[in-house]
Structure 1
């Protein structure tokens, strides 16, 4: 593993010197989770200790479009003013695939008055963590991130297919937890683990998931902001490694018809900062009131937060009955059919798993939103429904079925807006409306096949 990341600018300079860095990738995660920013020579980076970008750069959709009018411009000025970006020294990592010694540093976004830009995804997660800190609490999370390896595909009209492995064959059947199926892609994953080690990404277990070519990587539990950074960088890393092996890695929620979708399950618990005690357990080891209130908050607010957990039209294709993805907000112990699962664990490790979140979600936004739901549950002492001890797929749908429906619910939920920030919700929903409108212009093969000559 790499040495401890620097936490001050002087330590950052020492780190850059030690690694003989000549270029810096100055990164800012946008609403989609795409890395925006600039590449600077080492001397320029050291001289400026920051840079400027137009504030709308972190507030555009996946198509690169901006709203032309409306509430969006009550938050973002039409004059396209600058954000002042400041590097977070704790995020510096080497870029292991770069030819020249290159570092990457994630930046926070500030306005001209020195305040965090409220609609920048990293700012939103900081805001929620600060609310917990005011209560003397600290969230602990551990994401499980699923993704697909697919054959290189440059034509968006052609369906995606599993890639060819070492055997010279593509997967044609489901290989859940198969070691041999993972070994088909050993050269790729050797690069992934090598890159992760050089970057100090604390990845844990690699498994083959249910779908053909579907993998899952688990992260060690840690503070939400640091783990969001790691997921952000890991996505970038595995995509780069896949390209070098003539395939694509995709975090689409539902990339292949007939195969299960990809999720980002997030395990979460809350500890007291004073003594590190998990507040989800009483001293005698039984579940605490806070444990149940947190579940109650997730149950109440997840439907309104779905546009944050499932941010694209494709996201809702994953959330279907009997497809290894939840359709409702029931909760249960060691029950993978529910949306909110409590794994079997010791009292110190008692946690709650949000299984609703898609792999396509922005990690900063998704972690902020799930922690916000739990925070409101604790604050308002929301009691959960009775535990589901059977098959939750036999129950009714309790989640929005489309992005349009999800955006309406998010706009109407004022408590979530209060926790996540009114400005963020305004910008986010306006951007997503643009994406949804753009999608509605596309005529799908299904429509041509079934409607062309039959209606």
Structure 2
């Protein structure tokens, strides 16, 4: 750690940094933390934050029983910087650095309510087996016109032509060019922050785009998605737009996903354990898929963490509703692309763009790990259109959360305290949402029931 601290000091000096953003991903996957002048950063010891910030709802409230999860004194967490996450903040006025911190209890162990801690603990299980997961997220988002009144529906922004998109323009080059200035700045910001973004495409929705990340280390990719979301929002603000990662921001447009491609390699040789040299699937690969099929119903609320998330997971929409897997079949939940043996992988299509990347990646890796450890069997690969089959996962946040405590092995991997706290926070959000009377209810029930 002393070596890291010196390296951080040298970096701050080299880049003439005047201020440091000390970042902590909260339960939603958004940034909490402190701004500290660079000349004080590290000079005053490790920063601290109250542990109660880890159990705030998306509205900033606390659930009724929040003192069951943190000390009644609201003790501080100790924040320790991760050198690998040190980056510039390209949109800041003054030279500013950002660095993601791990949260620790005063006794020295990782804080159990931190989503980054959860992912670290899952990765330690793979490490003990001599294995290393490799992931590649694909993140979708919408550009929308500024909307300061939540009573009004969202709409696409005007592009450089002065018009709003109205047609389905999947993979359209010209549609992306409508927002060329935004795209160029987004890429410039990503480059300055060393984000390993690969391709950009226009998705099926109006002003909907998708960024693919290069495959790599699971924790580093979760960090990159965390930083990328901030980056896209900032680039959009520059051009008078919003960027939203809501799973289903507009009624007549498709939802936004965060598909996660994943494979597992041997830590010492880098050999992919999912296929042999001839391209045949291994028992480990089929067991991994079996784990995804077995544990997804219980972990669905980590892939779909908000009340809005379940509007995306609906029949007749290009999102999974059951647990089928298939070869290069985008109607299945778990798609296996055709590729060379060393690139054999499975794509989990459940996570929404609104998911906390640390928790979504932890959930999918935990499921696959248990599948391999327990020797679970995958079903036969699905042929045909999977979303015409029966729904096999929760359709509401409440339903998903009530399945979160069903399995002792998941309690052990994620931590019983974390899962209880997560369920309490999200159930509080559901109950608050459930108090809102919608326009649909007023239109159809006011005079007819």
TM-score range, shorter chain: over 0.9
Once the two structures are TM-superposed, the CA of residue 112 in structure 1 deviates from its matched residue by 0.6
Q: Using the alignment, how far apart are the partners of 1:75 and 1:316 within structure 2?
A: 27
1:331-382, Cα deviation, whole Å (9 max, x unpaired): 0010000000001111100000000110000000100011001011001110
Q: Does 1:433 align with 2:427?
A: yes
Displaced runs of 4 or more, over 4 A: none
Once the two structures are TM-superposed, the CA of residue 73 in structure 1 deviates from its matched residue by 3.1
- What's the counterpart of residue 375 of structure 1? 369
- What's the counterpart of residue 12 of structure 1? 8
Alignment partner for residue 134 of structure 2, among 115, 133, 140?
140
- What's the counterpart of residue 390 of structure 2? 396
Once the two structures are TM-superposed, the CA of residue 49 in structure 1 deviates from its matched residue by 4.3
- What's the counterpart of residue 311 of structure 1? 305
Once the two structures are TM-superposed, the CA of residue 174 in structure 1 deviates from its matched residue by 1.2
SS of 2:293 mapped into structure 1 = helix
Alignment partner for residue 353 of structure 1, among 347, 365, 388?
347
Q: Using the alignment, how far apart are the partners of 1:177 and 1:184 within structure 2?
A: 13
Q: Using the alignment, how far apart are the partners of 1:48 and 1:135 within structure 2?
A: 39
- What's the counterpart of residue 33 of structure 1? 29
Alignment partner for residue 96 of structure 1, among 67, 90, 114?
90
Q: Using the alignment, how far apart are the partners of 2:47 and 2:4 within structure 1?
A: 18
Q: Using the alignment, how far apart are the partners of 1:98 and 1:33 within structure 2?
A: 21
Q: Using the alignment, how far apart are the partners of 2:267 and 2:200 within structure 1?
A: 31
Q: Given that residues 302 and 373 in structure 1 are in contact (C-alpha distance below 8 angstroms), is that contact kept between their aligned partners in structure 2? A: yes
- What's the counterpart of residue 3 of structure 1? none
SS of 1:158 mapped into structure 2 = coil
1:416-449, Cα deviation, whole Å (9 max, x unpaired): 2221111110110111111011101111111111
Q: Using the alignment, how far apart are the partners of 1:449 and 1:259 within structure 2?
A: 22
- What's the counterpart of residue 329 of structure 2? 335
Q: Using the alignment, how far apart are the partners of 2:55 and 2:378 within structure 1?
A: 35
User: Where in structure 1 are there 5+ consecutive unaligned residues?
Assistant: 1-5
Q: Using the alignment, how far apart are the partners of 2:223 and 2:248 within structure 1?
A: 24
- What's the counterpart of residue 244 of structure 1? 238
Once the two structures are TM-superposed, the CA of residue 74 in structure 1 deviates from its matched residue by 3.4
Q: Using the alignment, how far apart are the partners of 1:283 and 1:166 within structure 2?
A: 50
Q: What does residue range 5-404 of structure 1 map to in structure 2 within 5 Å?
A: 8-69=4-65, 72-404=66-398
Once the two structures are TM-superposed, the CA of residue 411 in structure 1 deviates from its matched residue by 2.1
Q: Using the alignment, how far apart are the partners of 1:24 and 1:47 within structure 2?
A: 12
Q: Given that residues 49 and 87 in structure 1 are in contact (C-alpha distance below 8 angstroms), is that contact kept between their aligned partners in structure 2? A: no
SS of 1:43 mapped into structure 2 = coil
SS of 1:266 mapped into structure 2 = strand
Once the two structures are TM-superposed, the CA of residue 324 in structure 1 deviates from its matched residue by 1.0
Q: Using the alignment, how far apart are the partners of 2:279 and 2:419 within structure 1?
A: 38
Decide whether aligned partners of structure 1 residues 153 and 293 sit closer, same or farther in structure 2, where only a CA change above 3 A counts: same
* TM-score, reference length from structure 2: 0.98
Once the two structures are TM-superposed, the CA of residue 267 in structure 1 deviates from its matched residue by 0.1
SS of 2:94 mapped into structure 1 = coil
Q: Using the alignment, how far apart are the partners of 1:7 and 1:25 within structure 2?
A: 20
Q: Given that residues 316 and 388 in structure 2 are in contact (C-alpha distance below 8 angstroms), is that contact kept between their aligned partners in structure 1? A: no
Q: Given that residues 5 and 42 in structure 2 are in contact (C-alpha distance below 8 angstroms), is that contact kept between their aligned partners in structure 1? A: no
Q: Using the alignment, how far apart are the partners of 1:153 and 1:338 within structure 2?
A: 35
RMSD between superposed Cα atoms in Å: 1.1
SS of 1:106 mapped into structure 2 = strand
Alignment partner for residue 409 of structure 1, among 396, 403, 422?
403
Q: Using the alignment, how far apart are the partners of 1:283 and 1:178 within structure 2?
A: 37
1:206-243, Cα deviation, whole Å (9 max, x unpaired): 00000011100000001111000000000000001101
Q: Given that residues 149 and 213 in structure 1 are in contact (C-alpha distance below 8 angstroms), is that contact kept between their aligned partners in structure 2? A: yes
* TM-score, reference length from structure 1: 0.97
SS of 1:404 mapped into structure 2 = helix
Q: Given that residues 66 and 431 in structure 1 are in contact (C-alpha distance below 8 angstroms), is that contact kept between their aligned partners in structure 2? A: yes
Question: Could you tell which deviates more after superposition, 23-32 or 12-21?
Answer: 12-21
SS of 1:410 mapped into structure 2 = coil
SS of 2:216 mapped into structure 1 = coil
Q: Given that residues 150 and 248 in structure 1 are in contact (C-alpha distance below 8 angstroms), is that contact kept between their aligned partners in structure 2? A: yes
Once the two structures are TM-superposed, the CA of residue 7 in structure 1 deviates from its matched residue by 7.8
